[in-house]
Amino acid sequence: MAAPSTPDLMSTIVSLAKRRGFIFQSSEIYGGLNSCWDYGPLGVELKRNVKEAWWRAMVHSRRDIVGLDASILMHPDVWKASGHLSGFTDPLVDCKNCKERFRADHLSDLKTCPKCGGELTAVRRFNLMFKTFMGPLEDDSATVYMRPETAQGIFVNFLNVQQSARLKPPFGIAQIGKSFRNEITPGNFTYRTREFEQMEMEFFVPVAEDEQWYDYWKHARREWYMSLGIKPEKLRMREHAKEELAHYAKACCDVEYEFPFGWSELEGIANRTDFDLKQHSEHSGKSLAYFDEETKQHYFPYVIEPAAGADRATLAFLVDSYAVEGEGKEARTVLRLHPSLAPIKVAVLPLVKRDGMPEAAEKIYADLLKNSVRSFYDHASSIGRRYARQDEAGTPYCVTVDSQTLTDETVTIRERDSRVQYRVPAATVATTIAAKLKEASA
C-alpha cells in the first residue's frame, strides 16, 4: 500500500485527525466556524507536548531565559506604539464575479481572478486586529484589541522582568499564548487560522552582539525541529530580502517546512533591533532603557526574536510523522512521532479478556499511571487491530500480557517503529518505559 499522493495527503491527514481525535472543526454541529479548530483527546496531548518541548528547550534547560504569561488584552496604546494600529494590514482584492477574496501580495496579476478569470476590485488595506469593547459601553474609548502577537506583552514588561529576576543582557523572555489575526485567507487546516497559539522568545542583547545572536538562534531553532524528528530535507531556512523586511526588522529568516501544500513558514527569526523598546518608551513616557552597572550607562538592547506557532509546529509534526508501510495484510498506517511528542506513550493490552490476563494488565496500567506515564488500556478486538490503532495514534510502545505472563510474570514490549518485540518482567515495565522515554528525549 502506497502513501497517498501529495494533493491527497492533506485530506488524508485531516480525516485521520478527526477520526482519531486529534483535531475537530470548531462548532461542527452548527456547520463549523471558518478557520477555527478544536484539539481532541490525542491532539491536546500532542500540542501540549510540543509546547512543553519548546518550553524545555527555551526556558528550563537554559540559565539565560525566563518565562512570562501576559494578558491577551492590553492597553490600546500598546498597538499604537508597536505600529499594529497603523501598519498591521494586508492588501486585499475581491473578485467581482465569483466573490472570492485574495491577498493582493499573493497574486502576480492584480487585474484578473486566478480562480474564474473575473475582474478584481482595487486593492484595499485591511487591519488584521480583532476589536472588542471593554466594559459596558461600546464606544471608541472602550475599544481594545485581541493581541495579534505575544511579543508586545514581553516588551512592555521588559524592565519588570529584568529587575525582578536581576538579569543582564544577553538574556531572554519567553511566552506561549493565544494570538488573534483576522486573516483574509485562512486555510490549509490549522496552518493559517484566526485564533492560534504562539511560542515567542525575545532575546535582549548588547547592541554589538546582535548579528552573532541572530546566527545563533537561526541555527538553534532549526536544530530544535530536527531533534524532535522532523526530516532535515523537509526543512529549509529562507533569509528575507531587504524589501520584504518588516519596518522594525534589520534581518529576518524563516524556518520553512515542506507541507503537502508547499514550502511554508513554520517560524520566523527576526532581528527587531531596539525598535520596540524605544517605541514603548516614547509612547508611554517611561524609559525602558537598561542600566548597565559596569559602564554606568543606559542603553536599549537589541532584540533577536524566534517566533514560532504551536499549531503550525503541531501540524508539521503530524504531517512529517505520517507514513504508510508494507503491502497487503502487512500494510499499516503509522505516526512515527518522537516519543516525547506522542500523545500516548504506552498501551497496555491483555491478549484475551480472560484467564487472569485483564487483571495482570490492569496492575501494569495502574503502575504506569502512578509513574505519570501517559498510558492507555485496550482490550477490545484482535491484538493485530489493537496494534494498528496504536500505530495510527503514534504510540511508541505496546505492552502485551499473554499466557506466559501468568506463568513467569513477564510481558512483551512491542516497539512501534521497528515492530521488534521482547519480554521483560511485568514488575519492571514502568521503569523500562520511563527509561526509554528519557533516553529518547536526551
| Dihedral angle of Cα 231, 233, 235, 238, to the nearest 10 degrees | 170
Cβ closer to ligand ATP: 196 or 217? 196
308 contacts ligand ATP (rule: CB under 6 A)? yes
Residue of 265, 292, 355, 392 that binds ligand ATP (CB under 6 A): 265
Q: Which of 45, 94, 311, 367 binds ligand ATP (CB under 6 A)?
A: 311
Closest distance of CB 206 from ligand ATP, Å = 24
Sheet with 346-350: strands ordered across: 375-377, 346-350, 397-401, 410-415, 421-425
Dist. CA 256–CA 264, nearest whole Å: 5
CB under 6 A: which stretch of 13-21, 188-196, 233-241, 352-360 binds ligand ATP?
188-196
CB of 10 to ligand ATP, least distance (A): 16
307 lies in the site for ligand ATP, by CB under 6 A: yes
Of residues 268 and 339, the one with the C-beta less far from ligand ATP: 268
Q: How many residues of this chain bind ligand ATP (CB under 6 A)? A: 16
Q: Which of 196, 213, 224, 300 binds ligand ATP (CB under 6 A)?
A: 196
Residue 307 or 393 with smaller CB distance to ligand ATP? 307
Taking CB under 6 A as the rule, does residue 303 contact ligand ATP? no
**310 vs 348, beta carbon nearer ligand ATP:** 310
Contact segment (CB under 6 A) with ligand ATP among 136-144, 162-170, 193-201, 229-237 equals 193-201
CA–centroid distance for 296 within its chain? 41
Q: Phi/psi at 94 (nearest 5 deg)?
A: -115, 150
276 interacts with ligand ATP by CB under 6 A? no
| Contact pick of 20, 147, 218, 312 for ligand ATP (by CB under 6 A) | 312
Give the C-alpha separation, 440 to 442, whole Å: 6
Q: What does residue 421 show for φ and ψ, rounded to 5 degrees?
A: -125, 140
Q: Which is nearer to ligand ATP, 170 or 186 (CB)?
A: 186
Nearer to ligand ATP, 147 or 389 (CB): 147
| Residue 67 or 206 with smaller CB distance to ligand ATP | 67
Interaction of residue 147 with ligand ATP, rule CB under 6 A: no
Side chain identity, residue 399: V
* Residue 192 lies near ligand ATP (rule: CB under 6 A): yes
Q: Which of residues 153-182 bind ligand ATP (CB under 6 A)?
A: 181
Rg, C-alpha atoms of the chain: 25
Nearest to 112 by CA among 93, 125, 126: 93
- CB of 215 closer than 8 Å to CB of 167: no
Of 90 and 391, nearer to ligand ATP (C-beta) is: 90
Of 168, 144, 162, the C-alpha closest to 71 is 144
Cα–Cα dist 190/23, whole Å: 9
What is the SS3 assignment for 402-432? CHHHHHHCEEEEEECCCCCEEEEEHHHHHHH
Pairwise CA distance, residues 51 & 224, whole Å: 12
Contacts of 16 (CB under 8 A, 6+ apart): 22, 322, 333, 392
Contact call for residue 412 and ligand ATP (CB under 6 A): no
Q: Considering only residues 120-139, where is the footprint of ligand ATP by CB under 6 A?
A: none
- Kindly tell me which of 174 and 307 has the beta carbon lying closer to ligand ATP: 307
35 by DSSP, 3-state: which? coil
Rank residues 196 and 300 by Cβ distance to ligand ATP and give the closer one.
196
Reference 284, options 73, 68, 74, 71; nearest CA is 74
| Cell triple for 128 | 488584521
Q: Which residues bind ligand ATP (CB under 6 A)?
A: 149, 181, 183, 192-193, 196, 198, 265-268, 307-309, 311-312
